[in-house]
């Protein structure tokens, strides 16, 4: 119950004062021909909202616990899943930085399937198509390790995703999701990550919700986790039914969040509270 009261005291004030949802969000791009514009005047990584101790932990590659998964991913990258199957490095390159820059472009539209895929989806498509093995489960050690290894190669590079052409309907869907109220608390993503940036929620300072550091090591999890794990947690926080990790709704939202974070640098694996 303390959880609920704290959440209501912090972010439900606009609703309790009778401010309508229409007044709280920009127009839905799906109903407008105008190019979308970001509502944030200054774009900040979640790193900027962490304590000094947490930032020091992230910055030290020997102390950052997420680097354990990066090392596991490097081994998986070079290893054949079976004698008759190629390793990832067999197709891409044996160089450790052969995929530098790739993570900055995901999620992206996949013409072959006509769907939007994120980095996890791309790894699993390659595994099924080229290695002829079943897809890794979301949040499995193997998938987290490979995505951490790939994302880490783009560390320091600016996010720049494509939202034009066939990707636009997926982007519009993700943007709508960000501003739609849901759950028993009748809250949207933007209530925390635009309207209450910098305020405290149960010991956490509310950030802009930027996805630059995923997969990320969260101290409360004592584990590495994907962005979709965090999105599910947010759904549960507003008492909404979460989608399964990897669901199209989350991938669409991920594209919107990546567009919203453009100009920020990849910092995976991040450390968060």
- Structure token pair of residue 145: 């390790």
Specify whether the CB–CB gap between 262 and 162 falls below 8 A.
no
Phi and psi dihedrals of 108, rounded to 5?
-145, 155
> What is the C-alpha to C-alpha distance for residues 250 and 118, in angstroms, rounded to an integer?
10
3-state secondary structure of 59: helix
Residue 266 C-alpha from the chain's centroid: 11
- The contacts of residue 32 (CB under 8 Å, 6+ apart) are none
Phi and psi dihedrals of 158, rounded to 5?
-75, 140
Specify whether the CB–CB gap between 267 and 155 falls below 8 A.
yes
Catalytic residue among 23, 91, 189, 234: 234
- Structure token pair of residue 131: 């290695």
Residue 210 C-alpha from the chain's centroid: 7
- Structure token pair of residue 201: 């929620």
- The reply to whether 234 belongs to the active site is yes
Instruction: Dump the DSSP string for 10-42.
Output: HHSHHHHTT--HHHHSPPPGGG--SPP----SS
Nearest to 88 by CA among 153, 183, 156, 19: 153
Tokens 């635009």 belong to 194
Point out the residues that are catalytic: 234
């Amino acid at each position: 119950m303390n959880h609920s009261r704290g959440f209501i005291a912090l972010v439900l004030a606009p609703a309790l004062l009778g401010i309508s949802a229409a007044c709280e969000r920009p127009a839905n791009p799906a109903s407008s021909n105008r190019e979308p514009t970001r509502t944030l005047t200054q774009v900040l990584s979640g790193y900027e909202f962490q304590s000094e101790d947490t930032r020091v932990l992230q910055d030290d590659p020997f102390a950052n616990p997420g680097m354990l998964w990066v090392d596991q991913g490097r081994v998986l990258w070079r290893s054949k899943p079976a004698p008759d199957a190629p390793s990832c490095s067999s197709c891409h390159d044996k160089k450790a930085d052969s995929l530098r820059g790739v993570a900055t472009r995901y999620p992206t539209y996949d013409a072959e399937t006509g769907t939007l895929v994120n980095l996890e989806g791309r790894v699993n498509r390659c595994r099924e198509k080229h290695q002829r093995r079943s897809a890794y489960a979301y949040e499995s050690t193997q998938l987290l390790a490979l995505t951490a290894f790939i994302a880490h190669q783009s560390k320091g590079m600016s996010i720049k995703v494509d939202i034009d052409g066939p990707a636009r309907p997926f982007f519009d869907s993700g943007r709508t999701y960000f501003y739609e109220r849901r759950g028993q608390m009748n809250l949207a993503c933007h209530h925390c990550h635009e309207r209450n940036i910098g305020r405290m929620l149960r010991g956490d300072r509310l950030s802009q919700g930027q996805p630059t550091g995923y997969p990320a090591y969260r101290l409360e999890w004592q584990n590495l986790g994907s962005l979709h794990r965090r999105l599910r947690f947010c759904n549960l926080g507003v008492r909404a039914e979460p989608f399964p990790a990897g669901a199209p709704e989350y991938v669409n939202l991920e594209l919107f969040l990546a567009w919203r974070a453009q100009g920020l640098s990849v910092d995976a694996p991040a450390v968060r509270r």
